[in-house]
Structure 1
């Protein structure tokens, strides 16, 4: 059982598997992505990873940051998930290793991890409670996803709402919008993406340096899908997707409000869906967190995202948080535990 900074963990050969891309990896489960997030988005914060391992090589790792004396998941608005990482661990080993990690965090007195998938939330909540913490999980967000289920893009598209399909048909027929999808990082393409974003309805980018370095990382790995829509040679819509582990992740999208009548963002989204379904053969498309109504036109289902909170009974400074958690349980009942 040990704790390392994220930079130390990235250089630790025992943890090399946690930076590898594979059949089940995501950007958010890789230490190289977490190291980039810590360096660019959380400078000056105490960012670490707690590691527990077995003699047979099975391991669990829990990346975290410390803020105001409490432990939080190593995440921000760019994170689709932020939970425990495993390599070579059976379910029983995963539970035991997480419990050991929970015991190693007692000095902090309070923890909060989000967003989590339901299985990860259950594992983490159980680990803390079995290690003497008082904890609970509650739903914190919604994740829109599209299970492809072996369909072609044409089969997927036939099931979309009629109004969406008609918009794409009419705007394509006019031929005003040129579409391009880049799979390698190019500074000119990225400058076009940033120019579109700056002219869009979106608030200013939280960490443009992080996003650029992430795009460079994914481009070098062949995982980048950067879509651009142009009218008369000028970029008017841009989207940043990546593909990994059989999933296409939709990270960012924006369009120039002045070009709304041409629906460049809608045309670009359709083109990217076609690319990842028919060319990349993904099994899932993940639209991240947020229950935005427009996502329902493109996606088939949703998954809950959870927050796990836990407190040490003796940590007096965190009693207000413990009382708030208890009050929520009184109002909503224990079903979220």
Structure 2
């Protein structure tokens, strides 16, 4: 399934606005003569080290992979891509994360790195809750949710109805009202329990990009015209990615987050007709109530043993792993 986090537009926005200091980027390309144009891999120097290449990703990226469809690339193409990485001046150490454990990129790249001469290991990044819809409607989906979640949503709506003056809106494009919706999202985020964004321009620019690309699902719940809950979802390739959620502290009696999530779910299931909903990063307990299954996102770390820095880093890494196993 195509991923929004593997598009050229995502990477451009991430590099420009998602780092306190935009990193120098390195793009490695490889193609199969029978399936051009192949794929392009976005990399950057490993932060704080004299050598090493890392995936062009950080805390804003819930998944990493190449630009381009890599599902049918043959082993020779993966090996050629890994050889290009190894030939780079900083290619002694390679760190790629977070990856789809079962995806073509994680499996093909790991094999290519090994065949190119790297010593390769994998590590756990985080748990990922998701839902495969298999054609079901929102009503069918909702009936299967735990009773405690359904009661929370319905209780919140009743309290909002008694309070009066509340509204829901979902913005999907770059038309009139987008600027106000983005401003409302930032107001909610600033009054929520969440820490301020380390890169304050990233989210507004991501929302504008998503609107221009057709990815945007920006939900707002307001009371008396004041936003009290906001959510940014990204819809791409038949998949709804639940990217950022927040509600104003002190409004918990209305369950604004759950009420808004239910409305967003209805929209992506019945209107967008997505095949999958993904809660992205983290094993938070509440995500299990909304989703249907869990998988893991992993990372790959690779060392070139024919370089001094690669060999030393490998000795430290695998030595630490051995000590941990012995002391367990």
**TM-score where L is the length of structure 2:** 0.88
Q: CA deviation at 1:314?
A: 2.6
User: Which residue of 2 is the match for residue 206 of structure 1?
Assistant: 198
Map 1:14-53 to 2 at 5 A.
24-42=1-19, 43-53=21-31
Q: Does 1:112 align with 2:95?
A: yes
Following superposition of structure 1 onto structure 2, how do residues 205-224 of structure 1 map, counting pairs within 5 Å? 205-224=197-216
Question: Which range moved further: 264-273 or 177-186?
Answer: 177-186
Residue 222 of structure 2: which of 230, 234, 253 is its match?
A: 230
Q: 1: distance between equivalents of 2:131 and 2:323?
A: 33
Q: 1:101 aligns with which of 72, 81, 87?
A: 81
| Superposed counterparts of 1:76-95, under 5 Å | 76-87=58-69, 90-92=72-74, 95=75
State how far apart, in whole Å, the 2-side matches of 1:150 and 1:258 are. Answer: 38
**Large movers: runs of 4+ above 6 Å:** none
Question: For residues 68 and 319 of structure 2, what CA distance do their matches in structure 1 show?
Answer: 33
1:150 counterpart SS class: coil
- Does the aligned pair in 2 maintain the 1:247–1:283 contact within 8 Å? yes
Residue aligning to 2:168:
179
Offset from partner CA, 1:240-296 (integer Å, 9 cap, x none) = 012110000111000001111111111000100011001110010011111111111
Which runs of no fewer than 5 residues in structure 2 stay unpaired? none
Q: Summarize the alignment of residues 262-277 of structure 1 with structure 2, pairs less than 5 Å apart.
A: 262-277=254-269
Task: Find out whether 1:62 has 2:38 as its counterpart.
Answer: no
Aligned residues: 308
On the 8 A contact 2:27/2:42 being kept in 1, the answer is yes
Q: Kindly indicate whether residue 276 of structure 2 is the aligned counterpart of residue 284 of structure 1.
A: yes
TM-score by length of 1: 0.86
In angstroms, what is the RMSD of aligned CA positions? 1.9
Q: Indicate the residue corresponding to 2:242 in structure 1.
A: 250
Using the TM superposition, give the Cα deviation of residue 163 of structure 1 relative to its aligned residue in structure 2, in angstroms: 0.8
Distance of 1:285 and 1:274 partners within structure 2: 11
Separation in structure 1 between the aligned mates of residue 70 and residue 297 of structure 2, nearest angstrom:
25
| Deviates most, 114-123 or 315-324 | 315-324
SS of residue paired to 2:201: helix
> Separation in 2 of the partners of 1:82 and 1:49?
14
Do the aligned residues in 2 keep the contact of 1:138 with 1:307 (CA within 8 Å)? Answer: yes
Task: Give the whole-Å Cα distance in 1 for the aligned partners of 2:253 and 2:128.
Answer: 29
Contact 2:40 2:66 in 1 (8 A): yes
Shift of 1:302: 1.0
CA distance in 2, matches of 1:157, 1:328: 47
3-state SS of 1:294 partner: helix
SS in 2 for 1:257: coil
Q: 1: CA distance between counterparts of 2:293 and 2:171?
A: 28
* Residue-by-residue CA offset, 1:144-165 (whole Å, 9 max, x unaligned): 1011111111111111110110
* Cα 1:290/1:209, change in 2 over 3 Å: same
How far the C-alpha of 1:44 sits from its partner, in A, is 4.1
